[in-house]
Each structure stands twice: as C-alpha cells, then as structure tokens.
Amino acid sequence: MPGTSKNLGGVALVGSGSATPNQRLTNDQLSLRVDTNDAWIRSRTGIGARRVIGSDETLVELSQRAGSLAIQRAGWDPTSVDLVLLATSTPDDLFGSAPKVQALLGAKQAVAFDLTAACSGFLFALVTASQFLRTGAMRRALVIGADQLSRWVDWDDRRSCVLFGDGAGAIALESTSLVQNGLLDFQLKTDGSRGDCLNLPQLNATSPLVAGATYQQGGFSPIQMNGQEVYKFAVREVPAILETLLKANQVDPESLDWLLLHQANQRILDAVADRFEVSYQKVLSNLADYGNTSAATIPLMLDEAVQDGRVQPGHLIASSGFGAGLSWGAALFRWQGAT
Ligand code: UT7
C-alpha cells in the first residue's frame, strides 16, 4: 500500500505513554528454566531482560495505563477522543479488548476496536487511524500497541522464548492543517505466501458434535517460529521499504534524527543502520530491558525517548515494523508533542 495522498488534511503526533508489567525476568532467571545463558542471548539478540504479565495484571490494564498517559500528556480530556485503536494479537478477549480500554479511559465518545497485524500492528494502526483524521471524519485518535506474548510462547523452547516480553505503548494523534502535517508518508506490505515461518495457530482438536458432524475446540498452539527465515526476511525487507520511503520523499538518511525500528533483535537494528550508514547513536533501542513486545515495541520505545528528552519536538523519525503475516511497513514522521 503506497503512502499518503497530498490533498487531505494533516496529522500530528502530540502525546505518548507506555506501561510495562511489574514482573521482570532476566536472562539468568530464564536459564533456570531452559538450556540457555545470558552470554548467548545478549550476543545473538541484545536482550537482557523482559517483562511478563503475572496473575495480577491484564493487557487491558496495561493498555489503559499507557493510553491515559498519552491523553494526559497531549493535554486532552478523555471525552474528546473519537477513536481508540488497539493493535494487538493477544487480547484478553477474542471479541476485542479495545472496548474495555475505552471504558477504563473514560473515552465515552470514542469508537474502539482491535486491529491485528502482529509486530507490524502499531504501524498499521497508526496509518489506519490517521486516515480518519486526514479526511476530517475524526479529530482525535488514540493508537495503542500492546501485546502479552508470554501467554503464547512455549517456555520450554529456547529458540523462541528468550525473545519475547509484554508491554504497551500509546500515541495521541490529532488532525491538523496540511502545513502542520507530521505523518509525512508511509508504506505497508503483506505477503501471506511467506507466512508459515511465524505463526500462532489454532489448536487442531476435532471433537464429535452429533452423529455425522464434528467441531473444532477453540484454543491456540504456542508460537511456532523459524528464526533464521524471519531474520533473513527482516534484514532484506526493512532496508528495502525504508529506502523506497526515503527516496520518495527525497529524504537523505543523514537528515534523520532517529531510526525507530521494531525491537526484535539488536543485530537487525545494526544491520539496518549499517545499510543506511546511520550512526548507531541514532538508532533507538530498548531491547536490553524489554525484548520483543510485538505491537508495543515502537510506541514503548518512542515514549521512553520522548520522556528522557532524546526525541524533541520537530525531530524527523523513520520507523519500520515487521513480523508475522508476513507483514511489514514503514512511516516517516515528525514528533510534535503537546503545544
Ligand atoms: O517480531 C519478529 C519475531 N521474530 C524474530 O525477530 C526472530 C528473528 N530471528 C532471530 O532473531 C534469530 O534467528 C534468533 C535470535 C532467533 C536465533 O539466532 P541465530 O543466530 O539465527 O541462531 P540459530 O538459530 O542459528 O542457532 C545457533 C545455535 C544453535 O545451536 P547449534 O545447532 O549451532 O549447535 C541453536 O540450537 O544456537 C542454539 N540456540 C541457543 N543456544 C542457547 C538457539 N537458541 C538458543 C538459546 N540459548 N536461547
């Protein structure tokens, strides 16, 4: 899907928030469960620890905490929000968790729904929400990326369980004039024919229903991943889509303030930086603390960098998400913050 058409209104990114579970699980702790070690995980992925939702937390609560902070920092009243869009593949409720988040936020006027695009979910949701704002159909949108893959990893599979963690991040988006537009362009891609290397499939459990009829009991198998295939996909497609986006907008990689990539593996971040000859200092990374939080990685990272002052109003950011589907995308935006 190509990017923005130029004859509509603009979108500004005006607030951010994030929330992570209380339980922190280090590599050393994980090595008590599976045959792994801190040195392997750090050198192959850059991950040092991850957060895991325990029995006293839910995805809805994390999403609400992240969303409330974004609304507050944007300077909004919750009742002025028109849309709550929750990007998640791991809702508390398969019918959707966004409505419960909307209620807890007090965003009484907002329509709320979930969007599923795995680790690309936040970027896909950001672009989706921005369409409502650019056409003038809506004025304020809250885009949340949140996942709890800890529920769906096989904690005895060392090839995948070391990678993932739980978390939530949120961005407040506002319609603006085209002159003030902050979401400069985007590209979104899907290739379902290559989707088999990363799945969270339904259980295959057939039961008799009545004579001559069967049904499938609902439920899911743990994550199945061919790590090397996903790695190759990421280091090929992420630079390619970013290059297309930057060229289309005549943006020199040197003029970017930040590269904000889906946090999956530090080696992937470094490979993309090398490809564009962007200094590692300009590549935002919090993998060491949180691992791969799926749809949450980009807003969680952005919020951290906004709060600690690295990302400043006016900064130009190239972002890319990728993951199951296979799906991937990129967006070029300027952070505005509350004015
Ligand atoms: O959002 C997208 C989600 N998915 C991803 O981002 C995954 C992308 N892929 C990757 O990040 C990497 O492929 C991994 C980190 C998953 C694996 O790194 P790798 O360098 O591709 O390792 P490998 O699979 O080639 O395994 C190398 C060795 C193997 O041992 P042998 O066969 O060489 O003896 C594995 O059995 O490392 C072993 N190994 C481990 N050892 C210690 C695999 N996992 C572990 C582990 N601890 N956790």
Instruction: Please tell me the distance from the alpha carbon of residue 213 to that of residue 200, in angstroms, as a whole number.
Output: 26
Give the fold, CATH level 3, of 183-194+222-334. Answer: Peroxisomal Thiolase; Chain A, domain 1 (3.40.47)
Q: Is 228 in the pocket of ligand 1 (CB under 6 A)?
A: yes
pLDDT tens digits, one per residue of 245-269: 999 999 999 999 999 999 999 999 9
Instruction: Please tell me the distance from the alpha carbon of residue 295 to that of residue 58, in angstroms, as a whole number.
Output: 16
The percent of the chain in helix, strand and coil, each rounded to the nearest 5, is 40, 30, 35
What is the predicted pLDDT for the residue at 7? 66
Phi, psi of 182 (to 5 degrees): -105, -25
Residue located nearest, by CA, to atom 29 of ligand 1: 159
Identify whether 259 is preceded by a cis peptide bond (ω within 30 of 0): no
Instruction: Please tell me the distance from the alpha carbon of residue 44 to that of residue 21, in angstroms, as a whole number.
Output: 25
Sorted by where each begins, the domain ranges of the chain are 8-180, 183-194+222-334
The contacts of residue 6 (CB under 8 Å, 6+ apart) are: 178
CA 50 to the chain's CA centroid:
16
pLDDT tens digits, one per residue of 48-65: 999 999 999 999 999 999
The contacts of residue 228 (CB under 8 Å, 6+ apart) are: none
pLDDT tens digits, one per residue of 199-234: 999 998 899 999 999 999 999 999 999 999 999 999
Residue located nearest, by CA, to atom 44 of ligand 1: 159
Instruction: Name the CATH superfamily, with its identifier, for domain 8-180.
Output: Thiolase/Chalcone synthase (3.40.47.10)
Is residue 119 part of the annotated active site? The answer reads yes
8-180 and 183-194+222-334 in the same fold? yes
Q: How far is the CA of 264 from the centre of ligand 1 (A)?
A: 12
Tokens representing 314 are: 């006016």
- With 0.85 as the threshold, say if the pTM is over it: yes
Token pair 């979104």: residue:
188
Residue located nearest, by CA, to atom 47 of ligand 1: 36
171 and 126 Cβ atoms separated by less than 8 Å: yes
Q: Is 161 in the pocket of ligand 1 (CB under 6 A)?
A: no
Instruction: Please tell me the distance from the alpha carbon of residue 165 to that of residue 167, in angstroms, as a whole number.
Output: 7
Is residue 197 part of the annotated active site? The answer reads no
Is residue 265 part of the annotated active site? The answer reads no
